[in-house]
Structure 1
């Protein structure tokens, strides 16, 4: 019996070494290669990513892989806008999109576990258990939940698959038909919070979001997170955009009041705690992000 056709979609930018390892893990998936295509979207990398992908694809074609595509884009559109652009390049046979970050490696059974959890027609997406590459016994991201009344997120690290509010987009399976029905990802976010917004929109339309811990993705991220200005800006701005786009009027009123009275002072205290000093430049970025979130400044911005 033929397996359902899956497009493995990987946006990338200057990820030569990580992407090479990601591709190697895809080659080891317990899934027939004739039922998969790999579509890599290069955001105008300046390293050897393109040359590496071409070399890998030549080797894979000798192994019987026939559905291999590399899109060389002329600018850096981030990690999720390429999904919208990439739809037209996907095979007409595609039923599922396996979205991966370039710095992820998969276990052989990951794709099958995701597909098994996606059998219900009402399931829009299934997310894998993301673990730290250097500490694979530790969960980096589990099942996500959103409280729009207080503007907070929480996660559950469960042993069994559960329905939740959102899953992380470093390794997730999207039903292509539902993705198209919902209009893809909202480009207003540029980076950060986009997968949360997509999952909330899917739930509003009657679909389910599933977290499947049997599907494992080893993610090469630091266990303490990063605090570069770009990440901080989009983290805080986009959280406010998410509330504006998905909350009711009363939820917005409550969460924005709490943001002013509680979350903002906490964010400033956290900056001082992490930096061991008053980091004026970081606080400036944070305040700019919050201001832009309140006035509705969207898309890519100069930080």
Structure 2
């Protein structure tokens, strides 16, 4: 049986050792693959180190303003030119278990046998210290918030979900043909969530695989727009920054995915920045949390 061709899509910025650790774990995989890595203007020697230790990695240079979505979009576009069978989104702070690629490909084959060709697979990660689930699939909240997506966590069986955080995501060619690349409307956050929601609208399904695929630490809320130790003005300043809910991308996301009353939902993160949100740590959900996909400190 012909081995599927797989492209690993990554982006990085100024965390050389983190990126190298990710690539080191990736090199232990039992399946063959090509790596496309966007270095978004790092000045800590990341590109040089990658070239020395992993010369087979194809490095694309950014200008420092691509952030997560832009960097992933650049690498994804380059890989798409070769029409791979599969594309794996991988955050450079995610350390994969050695059999992850083999598991993902095997499990996707099982879905194909169930006549689910247009399926995205999502791997769940856990924090290396707390061992708690950190990133993976997301499901739409049953509450009235139409643009609120709650982290699903680890499962023991295949679990269908509504969208995903982009730390470890396997996307087959059939889905890419329908959905295309990450949308340039987004900069750092929201792009992975938008991709999953667009995939669903195009008739694709998204599945969280059983167990964990590796480790990835959760983003800290300290000194962020939800940190109630900061003043209201400081939280308001931070909530509209690129890594939180910048006005234009957030407006586009709400218009696409929040229904007729999208303007009401659009206001929520800014209102929460004003009134504070003290229950964040106990309830890891989108729209009240720091956006998940982050490869830039």
TM-score, with structure 2 as normaliser: 0.75
- Give the structure with the higher percent helix: 1
User: Aligned to 1:77, which of 66, 69, 73?
Assistant: 66
Report the alpha carbon displacement of residue 110 of structure 1 after superposing the two structures with TM.
1.4
CA contact (8 A) 1:6 1:37 kept: yes
Match of 2:75 in 1: 86
| Counterparts in 2 of 1:93 and 1:193: CA distance versus 1, 3 Å | closer
Look up the SS of the partner of 1:184 in the other structure: coil
Corresponding residue pairs, total: 257
| Counterparts in 2 of 1:269 and 1:149: CA distance versus 1, 3 Å | closer
Aligned pairs for 1:198-213 (under 5 A) are 198-213=195-210
In structure 1, C-alpha distance between the alignment counterparts of 2:138 and 2:67, rounded to whole Å: 22
- Give the structure with the higher percent strand: 1
In structure 2, C-alpha distance between the alignment counterparts of 1:178 and 1:111, rounded to whole Å: 18
Q: Flag structure 1 segments of 5+ consecutive residues without an equivalent.
A: 59-66, 275-303
The reply to whether residue 245 of structure 1 matches residue 240 of structure 2 is no
Look up the SS of the partner of 1:115 in the other structure: helix
Look up the SS of the partner of 1:173 in the other structure: strand
In structure 1, C-alpha distance between the alignment counterparts of 2:9 and 2:270, rounded to whole Å: 36
Task: Give a deviation string over 1:25-57, Cα, whole Å, max 9, x none.
Answer: 0111122xxx31112111111111011101112
**Could you tell which deviates more after superposition, 110-119 or 3-12?**
110-119
Look up the SS of the partner of 1:103 in the other structure: coil
User: Aligned to 1:256, which of 244, 250, 263?
Assistant: 263
Task: Give a deviation string over 1:124-164, Cα, whole Å, max 9, x none.
Answer: 421110211322x2001243112585332223222222111
| Counterparts in 2 of 1:141 and 1:264: CA distance versus 1, 3 Å | same
In structure 2, C-alpha distance between the alignment counterparts of 1:105 and 1:225, rounded to whole Å: 23
| Counterparts in 2 of 1:89 and 1:189: CA distance versus 1, 3 Å | closer
CA contact (8 A) 1:243 1:252 kept: no
Match of 1:22 in 2: 22
Task: Give a deviation string over 1:74-123, Cα, whole Å, max 9, x none.
Answer: 44311122343334533726211111111111001211222233233433
Match of 1:166 in 2: 163
| Counterparts in 2 of 1:272 and 1:68: CA distance versus 1, 3 Å | closer
The reply to whether residue 103 of structure 1 matches residue 93 of structure 2 is yes
The reply to whether residue 139 of structure 1 matches residue 140 of structure 2 is no
In structure 2, C-alpha distance between the alignment counterparts of 1:141 and 1:89, rounded to whole Å: 26
The reply to whether residue 113 of structure 1 matches residue 103 of structure 2 is yes
Match of 2:149 in 1: 153
The reply to whether residue 122 of structure 1 matches residue 129 of structure 2 is no
What do you get for the CA RMSD once the two structures are aligned?
Answer: 2.8
Task: Give a deviation string over 1:270-296, Cα, whole Å, max 9, x none.
Answer: 26899xxxxxxxxxxxxxxxxxxxxxx
In structure 2, C-alpha distance between the alignment counterparts of 1:192 and 1:17, rounded to whole Å: 23
| Counterparts in 2 of 1:265 and 1:76: CA distance versus 1, 3 Å | closer
CA contact (8 A) 1:10 1:102 kept: yes
In structure 1, C-alpha distance between the alignment counterparts of 2:13 and 2:173, rounded to whole Å: 24
